[in-house]
Chains A and B, each alone.
Chain A
């Protein structure tokens, strides 16, 4: 699946939930599905600034593709980063940078979650883009 197709699929999946609480249920499940994140990687340099909860984002480059892993002490935030990782992990830096990240607006995440600095959605996206840029 291309990145664009994956983004469209997420938009479609989210549109099935009318109630925001259902969207949260979905994000909570996504958060729980994240790979184990090692305690040793919960370092300050992997911490994403600008979130009320703590979010760590780690990555490695395999065969020219960026593989992300993340964790958060808040489950909804973890669901959001999990959603982003599901889209952007295992992609080349060029692919990641080709995205305009409008998917977060299309599913209403930006509008409903980021007006405050609470979950740092903007910071998460900035960090993913930064990592991609560094590895072009």
Chain B
């Protein structure tokens, strides 16, 4: 019991430390993230690629290290002490995710390797159970490849049709088209909560209500949404909600599939083997109850366990002082980019800036995004350039790629100002 108590105590101490820090200063929050203090090319790192993956706080790193160095034993099977510790850490992470999403049951939380794996699971298993030839599946034009390709593969396998809800020039989903697209052949709708390119918060609740009114279930891709919105799956009433751990401070290789019990029970398993079984014989196999039915093979338990400290960290970021500081950074960047006539931003809010997260994809007329990213890199700034795993959306916007700066709560106003200054300098070098 001693190891476990030590861990619990360490956690409480860490929690208290975090709290103090938040009341103090953003700079001290940054101190929790070892990577943020590094230098690149002799310059302070300015990490603005958070939408691709976030940095990890020490509490997450400590959890991974603890499991790996002290409690490395396969979960859910052995009765020995180490296995018990590992299992407990893994299952506590599931409880933390349940609470984070406000899911009704812990069995509705399935661990995966990430958003992509979770969508593939649903596309495959839902397809097996409910999709037949001539049926239709709906995605939107704002999706990244992970929320397009798995559905496309399933449609091909089943002889179903993939339909696409378009976006308008500003990047908003054309909801008025949804009524025309939904029909008695529609089996499921998959929509992103927040596009990784546009950064606009989609009205997923409205979409879900509309779909449910014609008995169509909805999968919400929360890869970005889980990081920036207070997700309540019961309030949203979504049928599936998926997200990646590594974008919200947990270890890489972690992901979550939330699915309503009725769907997870009705769908067949995805992969077979490991502890996903009830009884096995060569004649017949029965499956384990939820959620283990979908967790075949040895799980990435050391990483999954880090979801708990990561979600604790997220809770602490939900501090009014910090939120208004982050909003001020977003407004500053948005204004600076909007006022620069050389720059075209994608994903422009219709109403207030609250509709947009601190994520800015843009192009500079006459300048290639890759050149900008290379120069910014040498100034210490990490941004993303390219198609951002959303080629259809690039085509829709008529570009071959974009530059994207995505902020996290640990980014400072000084960094934002430095980014705008460097961007201007880079553009001047290239024009």
**Bound form: Cα–Cα A24–B429 in Å:** 9
Q: Which of A24, A25, A28, A74 has the most CB of B within 10 A?
A: A74
Contacts of B374 in A (CB 8 A): 24, 76, 113, 118-119
Min CB distance, B426 to chain A, in Å?
9
A73 CA to B367 CA, complexed, in Å: 9
Kindly state the separation between the CA atoms of A20 and B41 in the bound complex, as whole angstroms. 9
Residues of chain B from 343 to 397 with CB closer than 8 A to chain A in the complex: 367-368, 370-371, 373-375, 378-379, 385-386
A-B pairs with lowest CB-CB distance, top 7: A74-B368, A20-B378, A74-B370, A53-B370, A76-B371, A52-B370, A74-B371
Render A50-85 as a binary contact track against B, CB cut-off 8 A, 1 for contact: 001110000000000000000001111100000000
- The interface bits of chain A over 25-61 (1 if a CB of B lies within 8 angstroms of the residue's CB, else 0) are 1001000000000000000000000001110000000
Decide: A25 and B41 in contact? CB cutoff 8 A.
Answer: no
Contacts A28-B429, A28-B430, A52-B401 given: A21-B375 contact, CB under 8 Å?
yes
Q: Mark B190-203, 1 if CB is under 8 A from A, else 0.
A: 00000000000000
Q: Contacts A28-B429, A113-B374 hold; do A75 and B41 have CB atoms under 8 A apart?
A: no
Residue-by-residue, is B391-413 near A (CB-CB < 8 Å gives 1, otherwise 0)?
Answer: 00000000011000000000000
Residues of B within 8 A of A75 (CB): 367-368, 371, 430
What is the total number of residues of chain B having a CB less than 8 Å from a CB of chain A?
A: 16
> B-contacting residues of A (Cβ < 8 Å)?
20-21, 24-25, 28, 52-54, 73-77, 113, 118-119
B370 touches A25 (CB 8 A): no
A37 to chain B minimum Cβ distance, whole angstroms, is 15
Report the minimal beta-carbon distance from B162 to chain A, rounded to whole angstroms.
27
CB distance from B145 to the nearest CB of A (A): 16
* Chain A min CB distance to B357 (Å): 25
CA distance A109 to B375 in the complex (A): 14
Query: Can you list 27 A-B contacts with CB-CB less than 8 angstroms, sorted by A residue number?
Result: A20-B41, A21-B375, A24-B374, A24-B378, A24-B429, A25-B429, A28-B429, A28-B430, A52-B370, A53-B370, A53-B371, A54-B400, A73-B400, A74-B368, A74-B370, A74-B371, A75-B367, A75-B368, A75-B371, A75-B430, A76-B370, A76-B371, A77-B370, A77-B371, A118-B370, A118-B374, A119-B370
